[in-house]
Structure 1
């Protein structure tokens, strides 16, 4: 989970967690957090749901910010069976991208997939006035340059705009969001397209409506010149209802399936691949779930379609 402080990394994970059972339950899969993960995310979810009760929301930077690095552990397996795969989501204090860069670089280096959480109003409003400050795209770029040096195994990079409800209401807004990501992260996307990296890096964009019930309304500056973002409910009777929070996991499982089918020789995934060869029912359930990856409107594969295409 990569991003500056307050952009919404933990809110993104909460939305994913909250919707896992509802979405995955339609397949033969179950995703189960360990006790510590469940306790922490349930508390964060309570905060999100309480904020969604309000008709107008004032935001200076997400729900309570993460103060320390934390690993969220989930078991993934067939429904009613012992888990087959353990998924670890690494979160950290957003300020660590400045103060503990080496630790964040190691997180990126050790991860199969990297989710870049992006504060969408900061990106889209007032000619992207607050984008550099809140999303820190240059720091994100520098982290990837360090962690992807001499890359020799495939990686999935997911751009995940959050607080994006307003921009997904029509095709014009969706296209504007895609264009903004391409423009404001052009140096990072160009880096991924370099000769050394293009065979190894799949890059997609999956916007996630972390509340689902609110639209961005306006931004004002406080007495110190800091932005305050205001959100409002188009429908006062609609409450916490995140949308598309399943897409990052669908893309992750699709990526793993493709590597398995290609018989990639990677030590850190070898045990998973052996398990998939032995458990065809679980393999089929993963395949069914991953077939739900969206690739239209604002959901975009920027590169590496060959690492995501399953015939």
Structure 2
């Protein structure tokens, strides 16, 4: 079976695993009549179930860097993708890792492993702690989201690309900032400012033709909003609260990164060129028009407003 690798990129506690959990759960809830099936392997299924249970039982008011326990070791979340009831055609290999690997005190080998993940991946999903970006004029953005370090990582890895890539900027914990179209546009503006160096790099002459960049905000829980920042030993404590005492887990748009990913993959096939790493797509889609149609149906509902935006590479996301 052919494998597509995706890196969940971001420092400790930003919410990479929570995003992945909500992404899978919402895929199951939104595929509707689409003839697609996304099946986690045994280990991924067990871990996702544990994380989903944590997200569904959050207290009314709480403080966490993330909403669930941080990842303490390298983990691969593996999903088989195909038509319902049929042998899967593709394997989506999401690489998660401890965000502490970005820390200055971590051994060089950890940082090199993150570079290896990114180099092998068709897509990078950069998970963004939104309150750190938005509150107090972004006072904690550099410390928590590490945008310069993320930019340096792409500078090293995205050199002489021999095939297209998709980069998704995915703000999470963003429920507070998507209440109105005006606030959603403010969030989009702040993302462009907070990641301006990365966006400028990807928009450079060498990378613009081969890299698509999307902003896809995800309301990972949906009924939890940022409340305030408290301080402890000169470190921020981000306090969140449920919108009501009996508010239930209700994520919104968490399947959107997956819609964009599959849209991008289908476009690579339709392009008709032989790209390194993606030549197998010609065989898969060429022999299975039903799978191609199912992915097209799922991918057509990619959002492009309300804080969502294609910053560049729209040609890599257009389906004819």
- Scaled by the length of structure 2, the TM-score of the pair is 0.94
Q: Is the 8 A contact 1:247 1:294 kept in 2?
A: yes
- SS across alignment from 2:315: helix
Provide the C-alpha distance between the structure 2 equivalents of 1:152 and 1:266, rounded to a whole number of angstroms. 7
Counting only pairs closer than 5 Å after superposition, residues 1-311 of structure 1 correspond to structure 2 as 1-51=8-58, 54-98=59-103, 99=106, 100-222=110-232, 224-311=233-320
Q: Deviations over 1:146-186 (max 9, x none)?
A: 11011121000000000000001101210110000100100
Q: Is the 8 A contact 2:14 2:65 kept in 1?
A: no
- SS across alignment from 1:306: helix
Q: Which sections of structure 2, spanning at least 5 residues, go unmatched?
A: 1-7
**1:306 to partner: Cα distance:** 0.7
- Paired residue for 2:4? none
Q: Deviations over 1:27-80 (max 9, x none)?
A: 1101000001001111111111111xx222222333111111111100011111
Q: Deviations over 1:194-227 (max 9, x none)?
A: 11000000000001111110111111111x1111
Q: Is the 8 A contact 1:71 1:89 kept in 2?
A: yes
The Cα RMSD (Å) is 1.1
Q: Is the 8 A contact 2:10 2:126 kept in 1?
A: yes
**1:272 to partner: Cα distance:** 2.6
Q: Is the 8 A contact 2:22 2:220 kept in 1?
A: yes
Provide the C-alpha distance between the structure 1 equivalents of 2:224 and 2:51, rounded to a whole number of angstroms. 18
- SS across alignment from 1:72: strand
Provide the C-alpha distance between the structure 2 equivalents of 1:237 and 1:119, rounded to a whole number of angstroms. 25
Q: Deviations over 1:118-160 (max 9, x none)?
A: 0000000001011111100011001100110111210000000
- SS across alignment from 1:114: strand
Provide the C-alpha distance between the structure 1 equivalents of 2:32 and 2:93, rounded to a whole number of angstroms. 20
Q: Is the 8 A contact 1:101 1:143 kept in 2?
A: no
- SS across alignment from 1:125: helix
